[in-house]
Amino acid sequence: MDVSRRFFLGALAAAPLGSALTGPTRGERSSCSTCALPESRAGFARALAGRDAAGVLVFPGAAGWDDTIERRVRGGRLVIFESASGFAEARALREQRAGLQDAFGLRIDYPVTVWGQGRRPSYLDLGWPVRAHIRDFSFAVPVRGGEAVGWLGPLPVAALQRAGAGALLFLGSPVGPALGSGDPQAHDWLSSVLAAALSLGRRKASSSP
């Protein structure tokens, strides 16, 4: 039987995320979410290694939901939530939809396949905090609500939602694999995200009594 690489990755939906990525070597426990894309986790881990990312928390290739995310965002973190619902079970999608809607008012649709038979790979166009043109990873999760900051053609697949002292950056098209492959635009984009998180942290500190 011919088992494609991405079908195999989808079968890994139950692999534990274990800890969300936050900074060079530290991690925080993730209570509910699982990692459905090991390639994405590896890409983010490699790109964050040795860098000052204290204000950023990354949930790479996430299936399901983590109930601590809202508290972390409202407490001043910039949380990157990279959805991999296209590679996960239907139950994980339901959990993710409910969590995003309840905590941040974001509405996600069913994942769509963006690589058709005989079609060229599509590209994710990100517009925050800088513009970037990054190759897509075959599945995408459309999102509504917040500030749209990423598109596949006309389809919004990334959103920024500010809450409390922090913000949630939802990615419905995985960026971690591009980071792992050394894509320069993906790395420039991540550098700008880290700079935005530092600015967010300074504003939080200046507003504290």
Q: What are phi and psi of 42, to 5 degrees?
A: -65, -40
- Give the residue with greater pLDDT, 4 vs 28: 28
Number of domains the chain is built from: 1
CA pair distance 43, 190, nearest whole angstrom: 11
Parallel, antiparallel or unpaired: strands 78-83 and 27-29:
unpaired
Residue range 91-103: mean pLDDT, rounded: 95
CA pair distance 207, 96, nearest whole angstrom: 32
199 — pLDDT class (breaks 50, 70, 90): confident
Whether 31 and 68 have beta carbons less than 8 Å apart is answered as yes
CA pair distance 66, 81, nearest whole angstrom: 10
* 153: three-class secondary structure by DSSP: coil
Question: Residue 17 pLDDT > 90, yes or no?
Answer: no
Q: Give percent of the chain with pLDDT exceeding 90.
A: 60
pTM for this predicted structure: 0.84
- The CATH number covering residue 100 comes to 3.40.50
For 134-177, write each residue's pLDDT tens digit.
998 778 999 999 999 999 989 999 999 999 999 999 999 999 99
> For residue 153, what are the domain limits?
5-207
- Triad 96, 98, 113: Cα angle to 5°: 45
Whether 171 and 80 have beta carbons less than 8 Å apart is answered as yes
Whether 204 and 76 have beta carbons less than 8 Å apart is answered as yes
